[in-house]
Amino acid sequence: MKRLVTTIALTAAVGAGMLSMADTGSAATSAPKAATSYVVMAKTPASTTPNAATKAAIVRAIERSPLLGEVPPTGIVVSQIKVSTVNPTWASALIQPKNSDVDPAQVLLHKTSKGWTARDLGTDQIGCGLVAKKVRADLALWDNCAA
C-alpha cells in the first residue's frame, strides 16, 4: 500500500546573543535551540482513477449487468470508478438512482480476457468471499464481511 510521507519541520530557535530580563534585573543570554523534524506516515488508498476508455468499459459492464435487476440502465448514474492497484483486475463504482426508488449501491467488477464484468452489487458486504481483503480495503468497499 502506498504511503503518503509528509515531513513537517518544526523549528524553534532563539538567536544567540538575544537578551532576556530575569526577575533580578540582570541580562541573560539564551542558547540557540536545535531544530526538530517529524515524519508523519499516513495510509492512503492506493486505488486509482482509470482512464476514459476503462471508465467507459466499466460503465458499459454495469449497464449490461443482470445484477441491476429491474432497474433500467437509464435509471442510474455511475460515479466514483476506481481500479485497484493491489490487483488491477478488480474495480469498483458507485451507482446512484436518478429517482428515489432505489438506494445507492456499490458495484464490484472483475476484468478478464473478455473485459469487465459486474460481480457483486449492493449496499453491504460487497466482495465478501469474492475478492481478497486487501483489494476490498484498497477499493474502499462497504465491507462488513464475517471474518
Q: What pLDDT was estimated at residue 26?
A: 47
Lowest-confidence segment of 51-60, 82-91, 101-110 by average pLDDT: 101-110
- Scanning the structure block, which residue is given the C-alpha cell 466499466? 58
Domain locations along the chain? 3-43, 52-138
> Which residue in 129, 118, 60 sits closest to 91, CA to CA?
118
What element of type H or E holds 57? helix 52-63
Cα angle value 13/18/20 (rounded, 5°): 105
Name residues whose C-beta falls within 8 Å of residue 72's C-beta, 6 or more positions apart in sequence.
Answer: none
Q: What pLDDT was estimated at residue 5?
A: 29
Is the predicted pLDDT of residue 15 greater than 60, yes or no?
no
Q: What pLDDT was estimated at residue 35?
A: 59
Residue pair 90/139 in contact by the 8 Å Cβ criterion: yes
Q: Strand 36-43 relative to strand 3-10: parallel, antiparallel, unpaired?
A: antiparallel
Q: Could you count the other beta carbons within 10 Å of the beta carbon of residue 115?
A: 12
pLDDT tens string 51-71: 999 999 999 999 999 999 988
For the domain covering 52-138, report its CATH number.
3.10.450
Residue 11: pLDDT band (50, 70, 90) is: very low
